[in-house]
Amino acid sequence: MNRNTKGFTLMELVVTVAIIGTLAAFAVPAYLDAQQNGKANKALETMNTIGSAIVNKYTSVAHYGIGTSALAELNSTGAVWTQLLDETVLIKYDRGSGVVSVVTTDLFKDGVPKSPFGSGWEFYVDDDSTGEASWSGNPPELLITKVPMFKIRDKNQPLVLAEYTL
């Protein structure tokens, strides 16, 4: 009797499936980690964009004062994290005719840039993180005595955090 020897044996199939399963057990977690790291890097990049926009706007209005201060103020969030929305007040300053508020849409016409994690951003300014400066000398020179600081983080990824000092 002549048997046809084409095809795979059950043992060959079992060994092949075991090898593929073992490779998948190592590859899938590595792929998921790489994907998460990519999102974290994109989140940091976006936070730097937001932070740079706030720093640039603050710098451009910093010589206007509020009250006796010669510096614009970061809007304090009262030592709590506040969601960064399109109308979130970020900076306040006074040109002599009243307090002007800078909101997020003043910096980003299309609104707050999106988080790669899909959760949005949070903004933090401590109560004691306001700037202080005074004009002194002739010609007047702005002497900064206290520098404000703010933080941005991803709402659902609190370890993805950026801190800025103005």
Domain assignment of residue 129, yes or no: yes
- Say what the pLDDT of residue 46 is: 92
* Mean pLDDT computed over 118-147: 78
Domain assignment of residue 2, yes or no: no
Domain assignment of residue 6, yes or no: no
CA 83, 86, 90 angle in degrees (round to 5)? Answer: 70
Q: How many domains does the chain fold into? A: 1
Please answer whether residues 121 and 84 qualify as being in contact, where contact means their C-beta atoms are separated by less than 8 angstroms. Answer: yes
Q: Where are the beta strands (DSSP E) in 46-156?
A: 73-74, 82-83, 89-94, 99-103, 121-124, 132-136, 141-146, 149-154
Predicted confidence band at 105 (pLDDT cuts at 50, 70, 90)?
very high
Nearest to 73 by CA among 151, 126, 131, 144: 131
The pTM (predicted TM-score) of the whole model is 0.75
Please answer whether residues 54 and 90 qualify as being in contact, where contact means their C-beta atoms are separated by less than 8 angstroms. Answer: yes
Nearest to 90 by CA among 8, 164, 9: 164
The dihedral built from the CA positions of residue 93, 97, 102 and 107, taken in this order, carries a sign that is negative
Domain assignment of residue 125, yes or no: yes
Domain assignment of residue 108, yes or no: yes
Range(s) of the domain holding residue 141: 11-165
Nearest to 154 by CA among 105, 114, 96: 114
The CB density around residue 7, as the number of other CB atoms within 10 Å, is 7
Domain assignment of residue 39, yes or no: yes
pLDDT tens-digit series, residues 6-57: 788 999 999 999 999 999 999 999 999 999 889 889 999 999 999 999 988 8
Domain assignment of residue 5, yes or no: no
Domain assignment of residue 96, yes or no: yes
Q: Find the helix or strand (DSSP H, E) in which 108 lies.
A: none
